[in-house]
Amino acid sequence: MLDEINRAAEFLAVHDKIRLLCHLSPDGDTLGGAFAIFYALRSMGKKCCVECGDDLPEKFQYMYPDQMGDFKPEYNVTVDVADIGLLSDSQQKLQFSLCIDHHERNNIPAEYKCVDSKAAAVCELVYLILKQMNVNFTSKIADCLYTGICTDTGCFKFSNVRAITHKIAAELMEFGADAHKINFKMFTQKSVARLELERLVIENLEYFYNNKCAIVFVTNDMMRSAGASESTFDGVAAIAVCPEGVEVGITVKEKDINEYKASVRTNSFVDASEFCGYFGGGGHKRAAGFKINGDMQTVKNKILDKLKKEIFF
């Protein structure tokens, strides 16, 4: 990886007028990585900007600059974008000079690729690249990189965390990253609506197959009663797989009349992506999803039947 990191560092050091591209439904890692590079390049007197096909979430406000500057970008660099479909339609037509990513599979047709699937977050890679560039790590840059690392690791909880993840976090704190402020915002603080939604999810969990499977329907009525918006729902699908003994946790969210979206989370051996494939969906091994239509009871039976047939026979 050292070669790729050095080449990425050299590319960023040598070129100017760079557009940094984040993936759709932007998260802390794609934004943290892109804005860290943005501030680093700007401190070197370069013109650069960050672009995303979706609106930037208010939650990450503390990372955003007052203004991006007005210029015609000449080079495009993707940050944390695994799939070309995760860019907006117009962005998909661009030429890509550099792709920085940490996903297992990456199909961005970039001239230079700096992809390390062992990195817990793309921000780990960006940190190493900026270090190679001898960037002056301001507390702003440190905040951006720390954000990517903590959000992509569930605050150092997931299996993707390595010793180097903690070493980088330590150095970012030394550079002034306000870890507590960021973690508080990302992990501790919850809106009253979110807490109420969590309460309703716990209340409505149903257990099947020797309690190895938990299913919960999140109806529009429940969303309304909790005062929840769509963004409140983010991450709620993780609850169904928490109860001890549960291997498959399924959260079925009502989208419209007789239209549902199922989020499947698994703990250790069931391939969620494969299971969702039976319904035309997909995703990762431990987190995947699919769309399914029908009334609630029919949907539940379809899912339970498939679980029985494929997993809990």
Residues that bind its own copies (CB under 8 A): 150, 154-159, 161-167, 169-171, 173-174, 179-180, 183-184, 187-192, 195-196, 198-199, 202-203, 205, 207, 211, 238-239, 241-244, 267
Q: Report, in Å, the least distance between residue 110 CB and its own copies.
A: 31
Q: Report, in Å, the least distance between residue 242 CB and its own copies.
A: 5
Cβ neighbourhood burial of 67 (10 Å; 0-12, 13-18, 19+): exposed
3-state DSSP call for residue 15?
Answer: coil
Q: Report, in Å, the least distance between residue 291 CB and its own copies.
A: 26
Q: Which of 198, 193, 120 is nearest to 157 (CA)?
A: 120
Contact 215, 252 (CB under 8 A): yes
CB burial string 123-134: b at 16+ within 10 A, e below = bbbbbbbbebbe
Q: Is the dihedral of CA 184, 60, 158, 234 positive or negative?
A: positive
Extract the tokens encoding 261: 């979206």
What amino acid occupies position 223? M
Q: Report, in Å, the least distance between residue 70 CB and its own copies.
A: 35
CB of 52 or CB of 241, closer to its own copies:
241
Q: Report, in Å, the least distance between residue 49 CB and its own copies.
A: 31
CB of 73 or CB of 176, closer to its own copies:
176
CB of 174 or CB of 221, closer to its own copies:
174
- Measured CA to CA, the distance from residue 260 to residue 66 in angstroms comes to 40
Q: Report, in Å, the least distance between residue 176 CB and its own copies.
A: 10
Q: Report, in Å, the least distance between residue 267 CB and its own copies.
A: 7
CB of 62 or CB of 187, closer to its own copies:
187
**Four-point Cα dihedral 119, 154, 57, 272, nearest 10:** 80
Q: For residue 295, give Cα distances in angstroms to 148, 215, 219, 282, 289.
A: 39, 15, 12, 22, 18
CB of 230 or CB of 244, closer to its own copies:
244
CB of 15 or CB of 166, closer to its own copies:
166
* Residue 296 CB contacts under 8 Å (≥ 6 apart), including other chains: 217, 219, 254, 260
